[in-house]
């Protein structure tokens, strides 16, 4: 709960979409993955071109047992980055979902 309160304070000073995405992740730790996904989905317009937005959605969808949608989000995240290190971080979850 404390991390969520800290993100609430941070948003007062830095109300960026990325900060709000991080807050959604913290919210998920307190209230569960569906609440976090609902919050993250409100950021779709601002973060659609940000690969970690889609990676976050994939992880939340996977927690909810929605593996087909998680796989699509993983593919979107992979499609948004060409950096080999970032792609390597994304690929293991995508392969686990298929496995």
Q: In the chain, where are the structural domains located?
A: 2-98
- Please tell me the predicted confidence (pLDDT) of residue 99: 45
Confidence of residue 91 (pLDDT cuts 50, 70, 90): low
Paired tokens of 39: 């919050």
Beta-carbon contacts of residue 8 (< 8 Å; ≥ 6 apart): 23
- Please tell me the predicted confidence (pLDDT) of residue 85: 72
Average pLDDT over residues 73-83: 89
Instruction: Report d(CA 81, CA 22) in Å as an integer.
Output: 19
Segment holding 58, helix H or strand E: helix 51-63
The pTM score is: 0.83
Instruction: Report d(CA 34, CA 38) in Å as an integer.
Output: 6
CATH of domain 2-98: 1.25.40.10
Average pLDDT over residues 73-90: 81
- Please tell me the predicted confidence (pLDDT) of residue 96: 47
């Amino acid at each position: 709960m404390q991390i969520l309160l800290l993100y609430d304070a941070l948003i007062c000073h830095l109300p960026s979409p990325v900060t709000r995405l991080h807050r959604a992740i913290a919210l998920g730790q307190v209230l569960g993955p569906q609440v976090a996904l609902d919050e993250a989905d409100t950021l779709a317009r601002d973060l659609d071109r940000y690969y970690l937005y889609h990676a976050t959605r994939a992880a939340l969808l996977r927690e909810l047992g929605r593996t087909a949608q998680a796989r699509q989000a993983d593919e979107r995240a992979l499609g948004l980055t060409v950096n080999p290190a970032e792609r390597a971080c994304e690929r293991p979850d995508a392969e686990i979902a298929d496995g």
